[in-house]
Amino acid sequence: MKTNMSKTDRLIRTIVAIGVALLIYFNVVSGIFAYILLAVAGIFVLTSLVNFCPLYRLLGINTCRIPKKE
């Protein structure tokens, strides 16, 4: 797997996942919507840990900085 996520992208995904976890913990959201958000948050954490997003690959997105060739 080739890395296709920048540090900023990883940080944003992690913050969103923590926010979702807090919303579920404090019962702001519940029911099926909470389970869907929890699954999305889990995917965000997993992709942040491995620095690779399969959806980005399918869409041709790469948020990593490409080093300049001199």
Q: What is the pLDDT of residues 19-54, one digit of tens each?
A: 999 999 999 999 999 999 999 999 999 999 999 999
Number of H helices, E strands in the chain: 3, 0
pTM for the structure as a whole: 0.84
Please state the rounded mean pLDDT for residues 48-67: 88
Question: How many CB atoms are closer than 10 A to CB 20?
Answer: 22
pLDDT, residue 69, reads 66
pLDDT, residue 20, reads 96
Residue 1 has pLDDT above 90, yes or no: no
Going from N- to C-terminal start, the domains of the chain cover 7-59
Residue 57 has pLDDT above 70, yes or no: yes
Q: Which residues contact 16 (CB under 8 A, 6 or more apart)?
A: 41, 44
